[in-house]
Amino acid sequence: MRSFLSASGSDTRQGRLAGKIALITGASRGIGAAVALRFAGEGAHLVLAARTVGGLEEVDDAIRAIGGTATLVPLDLRDFVKIDELAAALLDRYGRLDILVGNAGEFGIFSPLGHIPPSVWAEVIDLNLTVNWRLIRAMDPLLRAAPAGRAIFVTSGIGRDTLAYWGPYVVSKAALETLVKIYAAEIANTRIRANLIDPGTVRTRLRMRAFPGEDPDSVPPPESITDLFVELAATECTRNGEVVALPRAARQD
């Protein structure tokens, strides 16, 4: 297993994100892995956080194959103190954080609200909402230290609907959008910009759990949405406090 905060690969220093330090959560698969690979191709150095060590190493191998660099951080984000420790390590090593991508998420279960086990409710709210607040709390000083700090969080259009039986997931995404918009208002007069991406229908493990009968081959892969992440991570991005979605023609939801 590659060690905590050990970097690998050679830095190409080319592309729209050249020289930037980008932290991505939920980076071992799906959207997080696709964004990591795209950011690496744009010249960023990646700090990849996830619980699955094997998945992180596979993403690292893909990044190195294109000449990129990555730092692997295997951790459970719900161990909130570890987020503070990661921020301290990033401060010590880099002195800043250019890009934060809050992507890690959990679906939970379909259930009437009154039947949801408290442990399931806590798991979904913790990972989809509280973890992102802890990331904002811990990483804000590092984003402020960057020339153009960018924070991007992954939401869902489902969070704007009151769907029966989707309780924990819908509540967590609705709250996440409010959280990020509040943060965006608070940093409006700084160099930081904070936004949310609604990726629409994307082929991920979370979606397969929510729609088990769906043909995965009929759903666009995560790589199809990475342009949006690059746009919001770039220095020239001026958007702030927005929920940014794929153009309607490109969506399938």
pLDDT of residue 242: 97
- What pTM does this model have? 0.88
Mean pLDDT, the chain, integer: 88
Other Cβ atoms within 10 Å of 30 Cβ, number: 24
Annotated catalytic sites, by residue? 169
DSSP collapsed to 3 states, the chain: CCCCCEEECCCCCCCCCCCCEEEEECCCCHHHHHHHHHHHHCCCEEEEEECCHHHHHHHHHHHHHCCCEEEEEECCCCCHHHHHHHHHHHHHHCCCCCEEEECCCCCCCCCCHHHCCHHHHHHHHHHHHHHHHHHHHHHHHHHHHCCCCEEEEECCHHHHCCCCCCHHHHHHHHHHHHHHHHHHHHCCCCCCEEEEEECCCCCCHHHHHHCCCCCHHHCCCHHHHHHHHHHHHCCCCCCCCCEEECCHHHCCC
pLDDT for residue 89 is more than 50: yes
Q: How confident is the model at residue 200 (pLDDT cuts 50, 70, 90)?
A: confident
Q: What does the pLDDT look like over 115-149, one tens digit per residue? A: 999 999 999 999 999 999 999 999 999 999 999 99
CATH tag, 6-250: 3.40.50.720
Domain ranges of the chain: 6-250
Q: What does the pLDDT look like over 50-75, one tens digit per residue? A: 999 999 999 999 999 999 999 999 99
Q: Taking a C-beta distance cutoff of 8 angstroms, is the pair 20, 214 a contact?
A: no
Of 33-47, 62-76, 202-216, the range with the lowest mean pLDDT is 202-216
Segment 192-200 shows an average pLDDT of 93
pLDDT of residue 5: 55
